Amino acid sequence: MVPLELPRSSFPEMRDRLNPKEAFLKICTPDFAGTNIMGITADFIMQNNIHAVFLDAEGTFIKTWGTLPHPQLAEHMRSLKERLDAEGYDFKTAIVTNRKMGNLATFTAAQYWIRDLNADLLLSPLFPEWRKPKPFMVELTAQQLGMPVEQVLMVGDKLTGDIAAGNRAGAKTYYVEEMVGEVDLLGDQIFRRPLEREMYKQMADRVKHVDAPSLAPYMDIPSLIQLPTEIVSHDIDWWNPQWKETELGKKLLELPNKVYGYGIPFDDSSQKTWGSRTLYVHGGEIADIVTDMRVPLTFTALLLRHLGYKKSANTVQIVAEASDFIDGQLARRSKRGPTQKGADADRGKDKQAAALRRGSLFVAGKLPAQDLAARVGADFAMTKIAHKLRNERGIQDVSAVWPGKLATAGESAADTLAERIADSHPHISELVSTIATIAKIGRIPSNTHLWNQRHRLREVERPILLQVAIDLLRG
């Protein structure tokens, strides 16, 4: 029997369903690739009928969580635009980034990116539904610039993000093979980068490689004119999620700017689904309700367990632990944004719920006294460290780090498992409980390391952001 072979040009949807791996690789395969964006020259632009270049930010022209663009790349983009303008070639540039303008620091830096690269527009995701790899931001940016998406080149360092978004929108795509800077997000280091390296090996023969000169190392040091700092106060909360209500935020928003959705008025009602609009308007209030429900849910789980309904008790306990992750996501999706008050409430409810669960297990003889003492001691030590970091070093939002939340969720899951097997496998039950206790203690150095790392980053950024803000206000 002759094997069935579908023609490459026919039934693409059916072919994709029959071979999802090939379909996924196709979506993530760039048209071009180069070590950096300096391979995008004027000749390259004209030869490929490209009239707009959309740049990803982090890893493409700035470091991850960086503030200032790489000077070589910024100069290249300015020169590229000047040459094409001089030749009368219709050409525009835009920055399409997944970094949300969630605080004053990001918005101030974004304003500087636009000016340093001479970009026509910057698009940031006002709502999670916009984020790459969804094609929406690429399509919207092309629409705002009055440019057919077929004449757009989407550039980025992530195959499964930037390149996938560009391909899905119908644009040409350019993959940056060497990320700017050495720091990467932890999740990308563990999952995305290894996956993309293997993907790129399989698709490399389909990609047209473009030569690009090497980049010199750089630091985030502003090459700006030193201006009087009395224009902007030194005492600025750069990471305030309510930044649009601050004095400096209002000043920067009043400037002519090209940050879509922030400086450029638009009707957001047509850009979101009903559920997303609800979360955008009321997400903060819903987050507060979810936080407040954690203790009642934990108490309900304990009561059900006492009455003999263990399966129902476990389900309610899972919902209670899930609320510790959900409330923060809801707050971040809301117009209000996360607040310090919400972070403090979240931390307090965590402690109350943990005390209820531990006390019940201890009274029932399911939690050894040494484990109870170690966990309570670890929480007490963590609280003391958090207060010290906040008061002495000005580190805020110390509760919103993932090791603490994972340790709390892990403790609850371990206690549930230990309780279920306590009668049949007492030694294993004790081992599981001990592992959960060790995890609670182990989060102390990991949390402290992350907080200190955040503090160092912000201390480096603070004077740069101040100088950038002064320069923007002085024009």
Check: CB of residue 350 under 8 Å from CB of residue 358: no
Interval 138-152 mean pLDDT: 94
Residues in the chain: 475
Amino acid identity, residue 303? L
Q: Respond yes or no on whether the N-terminal peptide bond of residue 133 is cis (omega within 30° of 0).
A: yes
Q: State the pLDDT at residue 36.
A: 95
205 class by beta-carbon count within 10 Å (0-12 exposed, 13-18 middle, 19+ buried)? exposed
Q: State the pLDDT at residue 229.
A: 67
> 223 has which bridge partners?
none
Q: State the pLDDT at residue 188.
A: 74
DSSP of 312-332: HHHHHHHHHHHHHHHHHHHHH
Q: State the pLDDT at residue 2.
A: 37
363-376 residue pLDDT tens = 877 788 888 888 88
**Structure confidence at residue 266 as a pLDDT band (50, 70, 90):** low
Whose CA is closest to 348, among 288, 391, 417? 288
Q: State the pLDDT at residue 338.
A: 73
**Structure confidence at residue 10 as a pLDDT band (50, 70, 90):** very low
Task: Inform me whether the pLDDT recorded for 337 exceeds 90.
Answer: no
Range among 11-15, 23-27, 278-282, 406-410 with highest mean pLDDT value: 23-27
Quote the tokens at residue 225: 């004119």
The CATH fold of domain 19-270: Rossmann fold (3.40.50)
Task: Inform me whether the pLDDT recorded for 325 exceeds 50.
Answer: yes
Task: Determine the Cα–Cα distance for residues 127 and 146; give it in Å rounded to an integer.
Answer: 23
**Structure confidence at residue 275 as a pLDDT band (50, 70, 90):** low
**Structure confidence at residue 397 as a pLDDT band (50, 70, 90):** low
Amino acid identity, residue 99? R
| Higher pLDDT among residues 256 and 45, named by residue | 45
% of residues, the chain, pLDDT over 70: 88
Task: Determine the Cα–Cα distance for residues 334 and 299; give it in Å rounded to an integer.
Answer: 29
**Structure confidence at residue 18 as a pLDDT band (50, 70, 90):** low
428-465 residue pLDDT tens = 888 888 888 888 888 888 888 777 777 777 788 888 88
Task: Inform me whether the pLDDT recorded for 17 exceeds 60.
Answer: no
Task: Determine the Cα–Cα distance for residues 139 and 52; give it in Å rounded to an integer.
Answer: 12
Task: Inform me whether the pLDDT recorded for 83 exceeds 50.
Answer: yes
Strands of 52-55's sheet in order across: 208-209, 32-34, 172-176, 152-156, 52-55, 92-96, 121-123, 259-260
Check: CB of residue 232 under 8 Å from CB of residue 469: yes
pTM, 2 dp: 0.78
**Structure confidence at residue 334 as a pLDDT band (50, 70, 90):** confident
The total of other beta-carbon atoms located within 10 Å of residue 195's CB is 14
**Structure confidence at residue 33 as a pLDDT band (50, 70, 90):** very high
Q: State the pLDDT at residue 411.
A: 81
The mean pLDDT of the chain is 83
**CA 472 from chain center: how many Å?**
26
Query: Rounded to the nearest 5°, which phi and psi values hold at 187?
Result: -60, -40
Range among 209-213, 340-344, 463-467 with highest mean pLDDT value: 209-213
Which residues, 6+ apart, have CB-to-CB distance to 197 below 8 Å?
Answer: none
DSSP of 136-183: HHHHHHHHHHT--GGGEEEEES-IIIIIHHHHHHT-EEEEESS-SSS-
Residue that has been written with the tokens 């000749």 in this structure: 43
Q: State the pLDDT at residue 11.
A: 45
Task: Inform me whether the pLDDT recorded for 239 exceeds 50.
Answer: yes
Task: Determine the Cα–Cα distance for residues 66 and 247; give it in Å rounded to an integer.
Answer: 24
212-223 residue pLDDT tens = 998 888 776 666
Task: Inform me whether the pLDDT recorded for 8 exceeds 50.
Answer: no
Domain boundaries in the chain? 19-270, 274-463
3-state secondary structure of 24: helix
